[in-house]
Structure 1
């Protein structure tokens, strides 16, 4: 597994144009992209840097857990192709933070079991947030959006839904990507 991860310096503020390009890169990269949109319940911290550090620790924890999940799938002789985790999230200013994780859906499971893959990532998200924040029920409103480019007739609708979710975030938003998960 490549041990690259998001560092505090890797997260950058994004305007509407760079956010659109970031989304388009993710869609272009994977034939079956999944975006998990969710809200984090943030524990109280003294400074903005502490909030930012907490969120980046969460990103690292997710990266590690998805890497472990992928390795277990491969050991069981199941398909689990590499993925890059891409993140978009609101700059922290309130007790809640909207966030989106974009990745290769096929890393999580077979094409015919999208629901099972969604349950896996929902569990990983909740466990990772609990591990770094010690907040139970700290993730709410988990909504998956699957952009399947192999179905060109219906791919545009989920992409528009993805854009709408990002546009609903309070600006400024931050974007980052982790190193490739390649077990």
Structure 2
């Protein structure tokens, strides 16, 4: 097994590396948020970049991550100003690094940013708001671009009876991502 902290060790990507990355990311997200939510979707480009420019695709994904984080921050402010609770979140991202005309991606976040049992009837409507934020962020980054194959997951440790089943479904969906898999976090922009 390759430990990335070791000096002079070649960093080769293998399916096993992707499995470890995915499991670690899911575990960290679950440990961090007892009410974990995830959106699994595919970003479709309107124009494939000539020659499959990997640098341009990565830059575009980073812009999408930043734009999404900003929109979620604004959404949280609106919720708070209207008297609803909105907890802070760190967005964790997993995505397939084989960029062509579409990119499968998963965003993990704190369900508490968009849903509070005290103020909201059901998380379904609030999850739709998060999906709308993702769609508008992608349209701004890739005019005419679409999000397709949207699936949502909620693995809440606060509901232990259903947690195992929901977490397993989330884990299995993440493990079906095509290799190589990339990882990122969206932090507040200063």
Task: Please indicate the TM-score interval, normalised by the length of the shorter structure.
Answer: 0.7 to 0.9
Structure showing greater radius of gyration is 2
Q: Contact 1:33 / 1:105 at 8 angstroms: preserved in 2?
A: yes
More RCO (CA 8 Å, sep 6+): 1
- Hey, what's the Cα distance between the residues in 1 that align with 2:56 and 2:165? 37
Counterparts of 1:175 and 1:135, CA distance in 2: 25
* Higher percent of residues as strand: 1
Listed as ranges, the gaps of 5+ residues in structure 2 are 1-12
- 2:161 alignment partner, SS class: coil
Q: 2:30 aligns with which of 27, 31, 36?
A: 27
RMSD: 1.5
Q: What residue number does 2:48 align with?
A: 44
Q: How many residues align?
A: 168
Q: Which runs of 4+ in 1 moved over 4 A?
A: none
Shift of 1:49: 0.6
Distance, in Å, in 2 between the alignment partners of 1:92 and 1:106 is 32
- Which residue pairs with 1:53 in the alignment? 59
TM-score, structure 2 length as denominator? Answer: 0.84
Q: Which runs of 5+ in 1 are unaligned?
A: 1-12
Structure 2 CA distance for aligned equivalents of residues 41 and 130 of structure 1: 10
Q: Which of 164, 167, 178 is the aligned partner of 1:156?
A: 164
Compute the TM-score of the two structures, normalised by the length of structure 1: 0.87
